[in-house]
Protein backbone atom coordinates (compact mmCIF):
# COMPACT_ATOMS: atom_id res chain seq x y z
CA UNK A 1 0.00 0.00 0.00
CA UNK A 2 1.31 3.41 -0.92
CA UNK A 3 1.37 6.02 1.79
CA UNK A 4 -2.02 7.65 2.41
CA UNK A 5 -3.68 5.22 0.04
CA UNK A 6 -7.03 3.96 1.27
CA UNK A 7 -6.99 0.18 1.80
CA UNK A 8 -9.71 -2.02 0.34
CA UNK A 9 -11.12 -2.65 3.78
CA UNK A 10 -10.85 -0.54 6.88
CA UNK A 11 -11.18 -2.47 10.12
CA UNK A 12 -11.29 -0.85 13.51
CA UNK A 13 -9.30 -2.52 16.25
CA UNK A 14 -11.16 -3.74 19.34
CA UNK A 15 -9.93 -0.69 21.28
CA UNK A 16 -11.38 1.60 18.64
CA UNK A 17 -14.85 0.04 18.68
CA UNK A 18 -17.68 2.30 19.89
CA UNK A 19 -18.64 1.80 23.54
CA UNK A 20 -21.94 3.70 23.41
CA UNK A 21 -24.87 3.73 21.05
CA UNK A 22 -25.90 7.09 19.67
CA UNK A 23 -29.47 8.26 20.21
CA UNK A 24 -30.29 10.59 17.33
CA UNK A 25 -33.54 11.70 19.00
CA UNK A 26 -31.44 13.75 21.44
CA UNK A 27 -30.45 16.01 18.53
CA UNK A 28 -33.85 16.23 16.85
CA UNK A 29 -35.76 19.47 17.35
CA UNK A 30 -39.01 17.79 16.35
CA UNK A 31 -39.06 14.52 18.27
CA UNK A 32 -41.00 11.54 16.91
CA UNK A 33 -44.60 11.64 18.11
CA UNK A 34 -45.37 9.41 21.11
CA UNK A 35 -46.66 5.86 20.64
CA UNK A 36 -50.40 5.44 21.14
CA UNK A 37 -52.35 2.72 22.89
CA UNK A 38 -54.19 0.77 20.16
CA UNK A 39 -57.43 0.68 22.18
CA UNK A 40 -57.61 4.22 23.56
CA UNK A 41 -55.54 6.15 20.98
CA UNK A 42 -53.93 7.88 24.01
CA UNK A 43 -50.14 8.02 24.51
CA UNK A 44 -49.08 4.62 25.77
CA UNK A 45 -47.67 4.43 29.30
CA UNK A 46 -44.44 2.87 30.47
CA UNK A 47 -46.43 0.34 32.44
CA UNK A 48 -48.47 -0.69 29.41
CA UNK A 49 -45.33 -1.12 27.34
CA UNK A 50 -43.67 -3.21 30.04
CA UNK A 51 -46.33 -5.87 29.71
CA UNK A 52 -45.01 -6.57 26.24
CA UNK A 53 -41.39 -5.39 26.26
CA UNK A 54 -38.47 -5.68 28.73
CA UNK A 55 -38.05 -2.82 31.19
CA UNK A 56 -34.70 -1.55 29.97
CA UNK A 57 -35.91 -1.62 26.40
CA UNK A 58 -38.98 0.40 27.29
CA UNK A 59 -36.65 2.98 28.84
CA UNK A 60 -34.64 3.07 25.62
CA UNK A 61 -37.80 3.28 23.54
CA UNK A 62 -38.93 6.35 25.44
CA UNK A 63 -35.55 8.02 25.87
CA UNK A 64 -35.41 11.17 23.77
CA UNK A 65 -32.78 13.06 25.71
CA UNK A 66 -29.64 11.00 26.32
CA UNK A 67 -27.35 11.39 23.34
CA UNK A 68 -25.08 8.49 24.23
CA UNK A 69 -26.20 5.26 25.87
CA UNK A 70 -23.39 2.99 27.08
CA UNK A 71 -23.29 -0.50 25.57
CA UNK A 72 -23.11 -3.10 28.37
CA UNK A 73 -19.86 -5.07 28.47
CA UNK A 74 -21.62 -8.38 27.74
CA UNK A 75 -22.98 -6.96 24.50
CA UNK A 76 -19.59 -5.50 23.61
CA UNK A 77 -18.10 -8.97 24.08
CA UNK A 78 -20.69 -10.50 21.77
CA UNK A 79 -20.09 -7.74 19.21
CA UNK A 80 -16.42 -8.71 19.19
CA UNK A 81 -17.31 -12.13 17.79
CA UNK A 82 -18.45 -10.61 14.49
CA UNK A 83 -17.65 -6.91 14.69
CA UNK A 84 -16.18 -4.50 13.79
CA UNK A 85 -17.74 -4.94 10.38
CA UNK A 86 -15.46 -3.76 7.59
CA UNK A 87 -15.84 -0.48 5.74
CA UNK A 88 -14.93 -1.41 2.20
CA UNK A 89 -13.73 0.76 -0.66
CA UNK A 90 -15.43 -0.52 -3.81
CA UNK A 91 -12.36 -0.09 -6.01
CA UNK A 92 -13.48 -2.74 -8.48
CA UNK A 93 -16.97 -1.34 -8.85
CA UNK A 94 -15.57 2.18 -9.36
CA UNK A 95 -13.27 0.82 -12.07
CA UNK A 96 -16.09 -1.05 -13.76
CA UNK A 97 -18.30 2.06 -13.77
CA UNK A 98 -15.37 4.29 -14.78
CA UNK A 99 -16.61 6.86 -12.34
CA UNK A 100 -14.61 9.56 -10.59
CA UNK A 101 -16.81 8.94 -7.53
CA UNK A 102 -15.33 7.16 -4.53
CA UNK A 103 -17.66 4.45 -3.33
CA UNK A 104 -17.59 2.91 0.15
CA UNK A 105 -19.87 0.38 1.73
CA UNK A 106 -20.36 -0.76 5.27
CA UNK A 107 -20.81 -4.55 5.13
CA UNK A 108 -23.00 -6.11 7.80
CA UNK A 109 -23.33 -9.59 6.30
CA UNK A 110 -20.25 -11.19 7.89
CA UNK A 111 -22.18 -13.24 10.41
CA UNK A 112 -24.44 -16.25 10.21
CA UNK A 113 -27.67 -14.24 10.51
CA UNK A 114 -26.49 -12.75 7.22
CA UNK A 115 -27.47 -9.22 8.13
CA UNK A 116 -27.25 -6.33 10.57
CA UNK A 117 -30.20 -7.73 12.56
CA UNK A 118 -27.82 -9.37 15.03
CA UNK A 119 -26.80 -5.94 16.39
CA UNK A 120 -30.22 -5.42 17.95
CA UNK A 121 -31.01 -9.10 18.61
CA UNK A 122 -28.16 -9.45 21.09
CA UNK A 123 -29.12 -6.19 22.82
CA UNK A 124 -32.76 -7.19 23.20
CA UNK A 125 -31.87 -10.72 24.34
CA UNK A 126 -29.35 -9.31 26.83
CA UNK A 127 -31.89 -7.03 28.52
CA UNK A 128 -34.39 -9.89 28.69
CA UNK A 129 -31.77 -12.07 30.38
CA UNK A 130 -30.81 -9.22 32.71
CA UNK A 131 -34.44 -8.88 33.77
CA UNK A 132 -34.39 -12.55 34.75
CA UNK A 133 -36.80 -13.60 32.03
CA UNK A 134 -37.00 -17.17 30.75
CA UNK A 135 -37.37 -16.32 27.12
CA UNK A 136 -38.53 -14.12 24.29
CA UNK A 137 -40.97 -14.50 21.43
CA UNK A 138 -40.92 -12.95 18.00
CA UNK A 139 -42.17 -13.38 14.47
CA UNK A 140 -40.15 -13.84 11.32
CA UNK A 141 -40.93 -13.93 7.63
CA UNK A 142 -38.04 -15.06 5.46
CA UNK A 143 -36.07 -15.61 8.64
CA UNK A 144 -33.18 -13.13 8.98
CA UNK A 145 -34.49 -11.63 12.18
CA UNK A 146 -35.47 -15.04 13.56
CA UNK A 147 -31.96 -16.33 12.88
CA UNK A 148 -30.35 -13.35 14.55
CA UNK A 149 -32.53 -13.67 17.63
CA UNK A 150 -31.92 -17.43 17.87
CA UNK A 151 -28.16 -16.84 17.72
CA UNK A 152 -28.33 -14.24 20.48
CA UNK A 153 -30.54 -16.42 22.67
CA UNK A 154 -28.29 -19.49 22.18
CA UNK A 155 -25.34 -17.41 23.35
CA UNK A 156 -27.19 -16.20 26.46
CA UNK A 157 -28.98 -19.50 27.13
CA UNK A 158 -32.38 -17.87 26.78
CA UNK A 159 -35.48 -19.60 25.44
CA UNK A 160 -36.52 -18.38 22.02
CA UNK A 161 -39.86 -18.93 20.29
CA UNK A 162 -40.15 -17.84 16.70
CA UNK A 163 -43.47 -17.70 14.87
CA UNK A 164 -42.63 -18.05 11.22
CA UNK A 165 -45.17 -17.21 8.54
CA UNK A 166 -46.38 -20.67 7.48
CA UNK A 167 -45.74 -20.32 3.74
CA UNK A 168 -42.14 -19.22 4.46
CA UNK A 169 -41.78 -22.07 6.98
CA UNK A 170 -42.73 -24.53 4.28
CA UNK A 171 -41.21 -22.92 1.20
CA UNK A 172 -37.94 -21.74 2.73
CA UNK A 173 -36.91 -24.63 4.97
CA UNK A 174 -33.23 -23.67 5.10
CA UNK A 175 -33.51 -20.56 7.25
CA UNK A 176 -35.85 -22.50 9.49
CA UNK A 177 -33.17 -25.15 9.95
CA UNK A 178 -30.55 -22.52 10.75
CA UNK A 179 -32.86 -21.17 13.45
CA UNK A 180 -33.45 -24.68 14.82
CA UNK A 181 -29.72 -25.40 14.84
CA UNK A 182 -29.39 -22.51 17.27
CA UNK A 183 -31.91 -24.19 19.52
CA UNK A 184 -34.92 -21.95 18.99
CA UNK A 185 -38.42 -23.31 18.62
CA UNK A 186 -39.89 -22.46 15.23
CA UNK A 187 -43.68 -22.57 14.99
CA UNK A 188 -45.46 -22.17 11.67
CA UNK A 189 -48.07 -19.44 12.00
CA UNK A 190 -51.07 -19.59 12.28
CA UNK A 191 -50.73 -22.33 14.89
CA UNK A 192 -52.86 -23.94 17.57
CA UNK A 193 -50.55 -22.62 20.32
CA UNK A 194 -52.48 -19.33 20.63
CA UNK A 195 -56.14 -18.33 20.67
CA UNK A 196 -55.62 -15.91 17.79
CA UNK A 197 -53.93 -18.67 15.80
CA UNK A 198 -56.69 -21.17 16.52
CA UNK A 199 -59.30 -18.62 15.50
CA UNK A 200 -57.61 -17.92 12.18
CA UNK A 201 -57.10 -21.63 11.51
CA UNK A 202 -60.80 -22.22 12.08
CA UNK A 203 -61.81 -19.35 9.82
CA UNK A 204 -59.24 -19.97 7.10
CA UNK A 205 -58.11 -23.59 7.19
CA UNK A 206 -55.10 -24.09 4.93
CA UNK A 207 -54.01 -20.41 5.03
CA UNK A 208 -50.31 -19.70 4.46
CA UNK A 209 -50.35 -17.12 7.23
CA UNK A 210 -49.13 -13.52 7.30
CA UNK A 211 -46.64 -11.43 9.24
CA UNK A 212 -49.51 -9.67 10.96
CA UNK A 213 -50.86 -12.96 12.26
CA UNK A 214 -47.40 -14.12 13.35
CA UNK A 215 -46.90 -10.88 15.32
CA UNK A 216 -50.26 -11.36 17.04
CA UNK A 217 -49.33 -14.93 18.03
CA UNK A 218 -45.88 -13.88 19.28
CA UNK A 219 -47.35 -11.05 21.36
CA UNK A 220 -50.10 -13.28 22.79
CA UNK A 221 -47.56 -15.91 23.78
CA UNK A 222 -45.28 -13.31 25.37
CA UNK A 223 -47.97 -11.69 27.51
CA UNK A 224 -49.66 -14.95 28.51
CA UNK A 225 -46.54 -16.89 29.54
CA UNK A 226 -44.80 -16.21 32.84
CA UNK A 227 -41.30 -14.85 32.22
CA UNK A 228 -41.58 -14.06 28.52
CA UNK A 229 -41.52 -10.82 26.56
CA UNK A 230 -41.93 -9.93 22.91
CA UNK A 231 -39.08 -8.51 20.80
CA UNK A 232 -39.10 -6.85 17.37
CA UNK A 233 -36.32 -6.49 14.81
CA UNK A 234 -37.07 -3.15 13.14
CA UNK A 235 -39.23 -0.02 13.18
CA UNK A 236 -38.88 0.70 16.93
CA UNK A 237 -36.67 3.54 18.12
CA UNK A 238 -34.74 1.15 20.40
CA UNK A 239 -33.79 -0.87 17.32
CA UNK A 240 -32.43 2.23 15.58
CA UNK A 241 -30.49 2.99 18.74
CA UNK A 242 -28.80 -0.44 18.71
CA UNK A 243 -28.21 -0.22 14.98
CA UNK A 244 -26.37 3.09 15.41
CA UNK A 245 -23.31 0.86 15.88
CA UNK A 246 -23.27 0.59 12.06
CA UNK A 247 -22.95 4.31 11.49
CA UNK A 248 -20.64 4.88 14.45
CA UNK A 249 -18.17 2.29 13.17
CA UNK A 250 -18.45 3.61 9.63
CA UNK A 251 -17.79 7.15 10.81
CA UNK A 252 -14.80 6.15 12.96
CA UNK A 253 -13.34 4.19 10.05
CA UNK A 254 -13.81 7.15 7.70
CA UNK A 255 -12.40 9.61 10.23
CA UNK A 256 -9.25 7.47 10.48
CA UNK A 257 -8.52 8.25 6.85
CA UNK A 258 -10.09 11.73 6.73
CA UNK A 259 -12.83 10.53 4.42
CA UNK A 260 -16.00 12.62 4.40
CA UNK A 261 -19.00 11.20 2.57
CA UNK A 262 -21.09 13.54 0.44
CA UNK A 263 -23.97 11.10 0.00
CA UNK A 264 -25.11 8.36 2.38
CA UNK A 265 -27.47 5.75 1.02
CA UNK A 266 -29.42 2.97 2.69
CA UNK A 267 -32.24 0.63 1.80
CA UNK A 268 -35.42 1.25 3.74
CA UNK A 269 -37.92 -1.33 4.92
CA UNK A 270 -38.77 -0.67 8.55
CA UNK A 271 -35.71 1.57 8.78
CA UNK A 272 -33.40 -0.38 11.09
CA UNK A 273 -30.39 -0.38 8.80
CA UNK A 274 -30.89 3.03 7.26
CA UNK A 275 -31.49 4.63 10.65
CA UNK A 276 -28.46 2.90 12.13
CA UNK A 277 -26.17 3.83 9.28
CA UNK A 278 -27.07 7.50 9.04
CA UNK A 279 -27.61 8.30 12.74
CA UNK A 280 -24.21 9.78 13.71
CA UNK A 281 -23.93 11.63 10.41
CA UNK A 282 -27.48 12.91 10.81
CA UNK A 283 -26.54 14.08 14.28
CA UNK A 284 -23.86 16.34 12.79
CA UNK A 285 -26.38 17.68 10.27
CA UNK A 286 -29.02 18.28 12.97
CA UNK A 287 -26.46 20.10 15.10
CA UNK A 288 -25.45 22.19 12.07
CA UNK A 289 -21.88 20.91 12.11
CA UNK A 290 -21.75 19.40 8.66
CA UNK A 291 -24.10 18.79 5.74
CA UNK A 292 -24.72 15.44 4.10
CA UNK A 293 -27.20 14.14 1.55
CA UNK A 294 -29.12 11.13 2.86
CA UNK A 295 -31.03 8.91 0.47
CA UNK A 296 -33.55 6.27 1.55
CA UNK A 297 -34.16 3.68 -1.15
CA UNK A 298 -37.36 1.66 -1.08
CA UNK A 299 -38.97 -0.81 -3.46
CA UNK A 300 -41.43 0.69 -5.95
CA UNK A 301 -43.81 -2.07 -4.94
CA UNK A 302 -43.86 -1.00 -1.28
CA UNK A 303 -43.24 2.78 -1.36
CA UNK A 304 -44.07 4.01 2.14
CA UNK A 305 -41.91 7.16 2.10
CA UNK A 306 -42.46 8.15 -1.51
CA UNK A 307 -46.19 7.40 -1.78
CA UNK A 308 -47.46 6.85 1.76
CA UNK A 309 -49.02 9.34 4.16
CA UNK A 310 -47.57 10.75 7.39
CA UNK A 311 -50.06 9.64 10.02
CA UNK A 312 -50.63 7.54 13.11
CA UNK A 313 -51.04 3.90 12.08
CA UNK A 314 -50.81 0.43 13.55
CA UNK A 315 -47.34 -1.12 13.48
CA UNK A 316 -48.83 -4.53 12.67
CA UNK A 317 -51.62 -5.86 10.50
CA UNK A 318 -53.12 -7.55 13.56
CA UNK A 319 -53.60 -4.13 15.25
CA UNK A 320 -52.41 -5.41 18.64
CA UNK A 321 -49.23 -3.29 18.74
CA UNK A 322 -49.10 0.43 19.56
CA UNK A 323 -49.72 2.99 16.85
CA UNK A 324 -46.90 5.24 15.79
CA UNK A 325 -46.80 8.33 13.66
CA UNK A 326 -44.98 7.44 10.49
CA UNK A 327 -45.07 7.31 6.73
CA UNK A 328 -47.40 4.43 6.02
CA UNK A 329 -49.29 2.70 3.24
CA UNK A 330 -51.80 1.39 5.76
CA UNK A 331 -51.32 -1.65 7.96
CA UNK A 332 -53.40 -3.73 5.55
CA UNK A 333 -51.15 -2.96 2.55
CA UNK A 334 -49.53 -6.02 1.02
CA UNK A 335 -46.88 -5.75 -1.71
CA UNK A 336 -47.69 -7.57 -4.94
CA UNK A 337 -47.05 -11.32 -4.95
CA UNK A 338 -44.23 -10.97 -7.49
CA UNK A 339 -42.22 -8.85 -5.04
CA UNK A 340 -39.04 -10.74 -4.13
CA UNK A 341 -36.75 -8.13 -2.78
CA UNK A 342 -37.62 -7.84 0.90
CA UNK A 343 -38.45 -4.45 2.49
CA UNK A 344 -42.14 -5.31 2.51
CA UNK A 345 -43.13 -3.39 5.62
CA UNK A 346 -46.10 -1.04 5.23
CA UNK A 347 -44.67 1.71 7.45
CA UNK A 348 -41.38 3.29 8.44
CA UNK A 349 -39.50 4.02 11.66
CA UNK A 350 -41.00 7.02 13.46
CA UNK A 351 -37.56 8.63 13.72
CA UNK A 352 -36.86 8.37 10.01
CA UNK A 353 -40.40 9.43 9.15
CA UNK A 354 -40.01 12.60 11.20
CA UNK A 355 -36.60 13.36 9.70
CA UNK A 356 -37.95 12.82 6.19
CA UNK A 357 -40.99 14.94 6.97
CA UNK A 358 -38.71 17.72 8.22
CA UNK A 359 -36.64 17.65 5.04
CA UNK A 360 -33.41 16.15 6.37
CA UNK A 361 -33.52 13.14 4.08
CA UNK A 362 -34.45 12.26 0.51
CA UNK A 363 -36.27 9.13 -0.62
CA UNK A 364 -36.60 7.33 -3.90
CA UNK A 365 -38.10 4.07 -5.08
CA UNK A 366 -36.60 1.53 -7.47
CA UNK A 367 -38.02 -1.46 -9.32
CA UNK A 368 -36.87 -4.96 -8.59
CA UNK A 369 -35.39 -6.06 -11.91
CA UNK A 370 -33.09 -3.01 -11.95
CA UNK A 371 -32.24 -3.85 -8.33
CA UNK A 372 -31.20 -7.37 -9.31
CA UNK A 373 -29.21 -6.01 -12.25
CA UNK A 374 -27.29 -3.87 -9.77
CA UNK A 375 -26.91 -6.88 -7.47
CA UNK A 376 -25.47 -8.98 -10.27
CA UNK A 377 -23.02 -6.27 -11.31
CA UNK A 378 -21.95 -5.83 -7.69
CA UNK A 379 -21.48 -9.56 -7.16
CA UNK A 380 -19.39 -9.93 -10.29
CA UNK A 381 -17.12 -6.98 -9.53
CA UNK A 382 -16.94 -6.82 -5.72
CA UNK A 383 -17.31 -10.55 -5.05
CA UNK A 384 -20.03 -10.58 -2.42
CA UNK A 385 -23.50 -11.77 -3.43
CA UNK A 386 -25.74 -9.12 -1.88
CA UNK A 387 -29.13 -9.53 -0.25
CA UNK A 388 -31.99 -8.22 -2.40
CA UNK A 389 -32.70 -5.65 0.33
CA UNK A 390 -29.13 -4.32 0.26
CA UNK A 391 -29.22 -4.22 -3.50
CA UNK A 392 -31.70 -1.36 -3.41
CA UNK A 393 -28.91 0.74 -1.89
CA UNK A 394 -26.42 -0.62 -4.43
CA UNK A 395 -28.71 0.46 -7.26
CA UNK A 396 -28.94 4.02 -5.93
CA UNK A 397 -25.18 4.17 -5.26
CA UNK A 398 -24.46 3.08 -8.83
CA UNK A 399 -26.89 5.70 -10.16
CA UNK A 400 -25.18 8.42 -8.13
CA UNK A 401 -21.75 7.23 -9.26
CA UNK A 402 -22.85 7.33 -12.89
CA UNK A 403 -24.16 10.83 -12.36
CA UNK A 404 -20.69 11.78 -11.14
CA UNK A 405 -19.28 10.26 -14.32
CA UNK A 406 -21.48 12.61 -16.33
CA UNK A 407 -20.64 15.70 -14.32
CA UNK A 408 -17.04 14.76 -13.54
CA UNK A 409 -17.60 15.29 -9.81
CA UNK A 410 -15.45 13.23 -7.43
CA UNK A 411 -18.13 12.70 -4.84
CA UNK A 412 -17.71 10.30 -1.96
CA UNK A 413 -20.60 7.87 -1.64
CA UNK A 414 -21.24 5.64 1.37
CA UNK A 415 -23.90 2.96 1.31
CA UNK A 416 -25.02 0.20 3.64
CA UNK A 417 -24.54 -3.36 2.45
CA UNK A 418 -26.87 -4.86 4.99
CA UNK A 419 -26.40 -8.51 4.18
CA UNK A 420 -25.85 -11.44 1.88
CA UNK A 421 -28.30 -13.12 -0.45
CA UNK A 422 -27.40 -16.76 0.26
CA UNK A 423 -30.94 -17.61 1.31
CA UNK A 424 -32.54 -15.64 -1.51
CA UNK A 425 -31.54 -17.84 -4.41
CA UNK A 426 -35.14 -18.41 -5.50
CA UNK A 427 -35.33 -14.70 -6.34
CA UNK A 428 -31.92 -14.78 -8.05
CA UNK A 429 -33.07 -17.84 -10.00
CA UNK A 430 -36.06 -15.98 -11.41
CA UNK A 431 -33.76 -13.08 -12.29
CA UNK A 432 -31.22 -15.43 -13.92
CA UNK A 433 -34.00 -17.08 -15.91
CA UNK A 434 -35.39 -13.73 -17.05
CA UNK A 435 -38.78 -14.41 -15.48
CA UNK A 436 -38.64 -11.69 -12.83
CA UNK A 437 -41.22 -8.94 -13.29
CA UNK A 438 -41.89 -5.52 -11.79
CA UNK A 439 -45.02 -4.15 -10.26
CA UNK A 440 -45.88 -0.62 -9.27
CA UNK A 441 -49.08 -0.29 -7.26
CA UNK A 442 -51.77 1.86 -8.87
CA UNK A 443 -52.98 5.02 -7.16
CA UNK A 444 -56.16 3.12 -6.37
CA UNK A 445 -54.25 0.39 -4.57
CA UNK A 446 -52.33 2.96 -2.57
CA UNK A 447 -55.59 4.72 -1.71
CA UNK A 448 -57.18 1.44 -0.65
CA UNK A 449 -54.29 0.82 1.75
CA UNK A 450 -54.24 4.29 3.26
CA UNK A 451 -58.05 4.34 3.57
CA UNK A 452 -57.57 1.67 6.26
CA UNK A 453 -55.56 4.00 8.49
CA UNK A 454 -57.61 4.83 11.60
CA UNK A 455 -59.42 8.18 11.60
CA UNK A 456 -59.44 9.77 15.01
CA UNK A 457 -58.77 13.11 16.59
CA UNK A 458 -55.17 14.11 15.98
CA UNK A 459 -54.75 11.92 12.89
CA UNK A 460 -55.23 14.56 10.23
CA UNK A 461 -53.61 13.71 6.93
Give me the residues that bind a second copy (CB under 8 A), please: 1, 7-9, 11, 13-15, 77, 80-82, 91-92, 110-112, 114, 151, 154-155, 173-174, 177-178, 180-183, 376, 379-385, 420, 422-423, 425, 428-429, 431-432
Minimum CB–partner distance for residue 229 and a second copy (Å): 22
Give the whole-angstrom CA distance, residue 343 versus residue 159: 28
What is the DSSP secondary structure assignment for residue 81, as one 8-state letter? Answer: H
Nearer to a second copy, 143 or 308 (CB): 143
Give the whole-angstrom CA distance, residue 434 versus residue 337: 17
Minimum CB–partner distance for residue 86 and a second copy (Å): 9
Give the whole-angstrom CA distance, residue 34 versus residue 47: 15
Give the whole-angstrom CA distance, residue 30 versus residue 11: 35
Give the whole-angstrom CA distance, residue 109 versus residue 129: 26
Q: Which residues contact 77 (CB under 8 A, 6 or more apart)?
A: none
Tell me which residue of 392, 60, 414, 62 sits closest to 246, measured CA to CA: 414
Give the whole-angstrom CA distance, residue 33 versus residue 24: 14
Nearer to a second copy, 111 or 120 (CB): 111
Minimum CB–partner distance for residue 119 and a second copy (Å): 13
Contact 44, 34 (CB under 8 A): yes
Nearer to a second copy, 79 or 333 (CB): 79
Alpha-carbon distances, residue 352 vs 342, 363, 418 (angstroms): 19, 11, 17
Contact 182, 121 (CB under 8 A): no
Minimum CB–partner distance for residue 148 and a second copy (Å): 10
- Residue 179: half-sphere exposure toward Cβ, Cα within 13 Å: 31
Minimum CB–partner distance for residue 425 and a second copy (Å): 4
| Helical packing angle, 55-62 and 118-130, nearest 10° | 130
Nearer to a second copy, 4 or 442 (CB): 4
Secondary structure (3-state) at 199: helix
Secondary structure (3-state) at 29: coil
Nearer to a second copy, 81 or 202 (CB): 81
Minimum CB–partner distance for residue 88 and a second copy (Å): 8
Nearer to a second copy, 46 or 177 (CB): 177
Minimum CB–partner distance for residue 383 and a second copy (Å): 5
Minimum CB–partner distance for residue 374 and a second copy (Å): 12
Nearer to a second copy, 5 or 291 (CB): 5
Nearer to a second copy, 358 or 429 (CB): 429
Give the whole-angstrom CA distance, residue 271 versus residue 268: 5
Nearer to a second copy, 111 or 194 (CB): 111
Angle 376-121-158 (CA atoms, 0-180°, nearest 5)? 135
Minimum CB–partner distance for residue 393 and a second copy (Å): 18
Minimum CB–partner distance for residue 241 and a second copy (Å): 22
DSSP string for 400-428: HHHHHHHHT---EEEEEE-BB-TT-HHHH
Number of residues that this document lists for the chain? 461
Minimum CB–partner distance for residue 159 and a second copy (Å): 13
What is the DSSP secondary structure assignment for residue 58, as one 8-state letter? Answer: H
Give the whole-angstrom CA distance, residue 345 versus residue 303: 9
Contact 272, 233 (CB under 8 A): yes
Nearer to a second copy, 317 or 391 (CB): 391
Nearer to a second copy, 91 or 360 (CB): 91
Tell me which residue of 320, 109, 149 sits closest to 232, measured CA to CA: 149
Amino acid sequence: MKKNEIPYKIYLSEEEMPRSWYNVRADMKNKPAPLLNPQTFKPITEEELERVFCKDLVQQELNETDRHIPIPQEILDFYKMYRPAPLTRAYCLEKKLQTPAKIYYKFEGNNTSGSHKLNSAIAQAYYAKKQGLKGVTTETGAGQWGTALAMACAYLDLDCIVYQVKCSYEQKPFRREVIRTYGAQVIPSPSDTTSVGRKILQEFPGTGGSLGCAISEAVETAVSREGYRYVLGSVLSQVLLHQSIIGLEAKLAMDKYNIVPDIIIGCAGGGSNLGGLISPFMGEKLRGERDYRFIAVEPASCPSLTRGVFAYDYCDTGKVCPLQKMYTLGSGFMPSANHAGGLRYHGMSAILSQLYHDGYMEARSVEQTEVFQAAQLFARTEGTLPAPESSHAIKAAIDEALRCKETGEEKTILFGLTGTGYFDMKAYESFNNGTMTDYIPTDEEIKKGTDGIPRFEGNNF
